[in-house]
Amino acid sequence: MSEPILSISGLTTEFKVGKEWRDVIRNVNLDIHQGETVAVVGESGSGKSVTAMSVMRLLGSNARSSGKILFEGQDLLGLTQEAMQTVRGNRIGMIFQEPMTSLNPVLKIGEQITEVLMEHRGLEHRAALAEAERLLEKVRIPSARQRLNEYPLSFSGGMRQRVVIAIALACEPKLLIADEPTTALDVTIQAQILELIKALQQEEGMAVLFITHDMGVVAEISDRTAVMFRGDVVETGLTEQIFRQPAHPYTRALLAAVPQLGSMNGQSLPLRFPIVDMATGQIEPVKPTVDTVRNDADPVLKVERLVTRFPVKKGILRRTVGNIHAVEDVSFEVREGETLSLVGESGCGKSTTGRSILRLTDPTSGRVTIQQRDVVSADKQELAVIRREAQMIFQDPFESLNPRLRVGDAIAEPMVAHGLAGASDVGERVGKLLEKVGLSPSMADRFPHEFSGGQRQRVCIARALALDPKMIVADESVSALDVSIKAQVINLLLDLQEQLGLGYLFISHDMAVVERISHRVAVMYMGEIVEIGPRQAVFENPQHPYTRKLMAAVPIADPTRKRVRQISNDEIRTPYREAGFVPPSREYLKIGEDHFVLGRKQERAA
């Protein structure tokens, strides 16, 4: 094999904490050859980004690295910061996670690209402009010439990430470092960007160091993989090898926790994630799921023709010029012990639906009944009763707990406020709730910042259970968590459903998680439900074009099935409409038992 382009050996990076140096990554060894993609995968805090930043020497003065980083035979650690400038952005390109902040908002796209070209490649302005256009075409941005004159604000997240890639490619780098480049993007856009990086790599023959937490993405894109865990590379090898025969217990745990789309074909009930014993590496058998759906009783939640629009006002008179049709004519039911998942991409209205149901956002029209009580017309007292029946768990466990309240008080508060517990027994009940979600009662007097993300989400679940609800709306409740933690929380939700017969409205963008947890699935697009039905039917026999597109975009955690996908470069459209817009009438076609797909008259004609 030829000499590697980048060869990292014995890399240790330490950060100064107070007066002492604490190592964040230890003895990292990694080689990347030309034309090869190496993925560094790990959960938050594993040191994968620090590794990339160490290579680029982008860490501040409170960090120091030792070891060797040979790039084309030159030790980067021995270079001065000035000498690094000629390497960074020139011979090594970099893409970051957040496309919204990595472009300068006050400079035109064209200027930002030509700047790099003139600085690093010494091109004349005119030549640079032509080259910039070529680069934009290279990253498949349509009508590149016009778009050079636009500002970043008129570019969507995916388009911005393309521009960032174009800038990274400007100097024809030998190595591209991509630090979670698709994490902030929607799944269909992620698929587009992944395809783009793959195609560009073949065209340019560069090496790619790809940092990600998502095993699905790893399987899609990488030739070789390094798994990091708490600052150590615990396993390196060919991606296929690692997926087939993971050697380290952590890799096994990570892979067991990865939700795999299609892994549940033929299975109609939800399924828990297998949990790996970290010490022995043994996979514990999965407890079979009990059928919890109560078809005999009335549904706990009934939503009929729910509409929520947000007016867009302009001018000094604040005239309504249009509406964001966040939720349009949405109807569904959730039964006791049933999980209905609302899936879709950002801006599709799934969160607004959840908020409208609990009246955290006031719906425009429609009927919502929770336990036979009308929510939309409820007054304050009535609403208080309803909100005891239906609780919400939010996305960000760091945000949804009051930082100045001990978690015990946070869990006790709803019980005390609703008179469900007195001073004498409230402590005991808090302890029981904490135990129920897998925490220890002694943690009650801690503050939220003393917990990890997964633990905080457990606290939020305990708080939601405090009022003994029949129904829980979980709005992206596991999206912010690491894979292994995500698996544990999903398992907890399934346990609680069996014990308490809870109905879940599970709002998520993550198709693979949805496949695990749901009984039924509703796919939302532009404020409408485009397809709804039993999970098995929707996943195994998707009918609506958007559902199919969504399924095709989910990265599959199986490197042997690496495929070249035909991904259209469509953007996600916004549901903004002029004032006075009357939505066309909807008609749902019955595909199978309980399985419906949205069809419009013109669509069927076409």
> Which residues lie near other proteins (CB under 8 A)?
26, 230-232, 234, 279, 358, 360, 383-388, 391-392, 394-396, 399-405, 413-414, 417-418, 446, 449-450, 460, 463, 466-467
Residues 6+ away with beta carbon under 8 Å from 389: 300, 370, 371, 373, 469, 470, 471
Residue 434: DSSP 8-state: H
* Terminal-residue alpha carbon distance, the chain: 55
Residues 6+ away with beta carbon under 8 Å from 486: 257, 259, 478, 513
Residue 25 contacts residue 11 (beta carbons within 8 Å): yes
Q: How far is CA 34 from CA 2, 51, 267, in A?
A: 8, 19, 43
Residue 201 contacts residue 173 (beta carbons within 8 Å): no
Task: Please tell me the distance from the alpha carbon of residue 306 to that of residue 331, in angstroms, as a whole number.
Answer: 6
Alpha helices by DSSP H, listed for 60-124, are 81-87, 109-121
Cβ closest to other proteins, residue 90 vs residue 400: 400
Which phi and psi angles does 557 have, rounded to 5°?
-80, 60
Residue 348: DSSP 8-state: S
The residue assigned the tokens 């939010």 is 394
Q: How many CA atoms lie within 13 A of 253 on its CB side?
A: 23
Work out the number of other CB atoms within 10 angstroms of the CB of residue 263.
15
Task: Please tell me the distance from the alpha carbon of residue 74 to that of residue 52, in angstroms, as a whole number.
Answer: 17
Task: Please tell me the distance from the alpha carbon of residue 371 to that of residue 253, in angstroms, as a whole number.
Answer: 40
- Cα torsion 235, 237, 243, 249 to 10°: value is -20
How do beta strands 6-17 and 20-32 pair?
A: antiparallel
Task: Please tell me the distance from the alpha carbon of residue 566 to that of residue 391, in angstroms, as a whole number.
Answer: 41
Task: Please tell me the distance from the alpha carbon of residue 374 to that of residue 453, in angstroms, as a whole number.
Answer: 35
- Sheet bearing 503-508, strands edge to edge: 390-393, 471-475, 503-508, 339-343, 520-525, 528-534, 595-599, 587-592
Task: Read off the tokens for 146.
Answer: 């016009």
Question: Smallest distance, Å, CB 220 to other proteins?
Answer: 29
Cβ closest to other proteins, residue 20 vs residue 296: 20
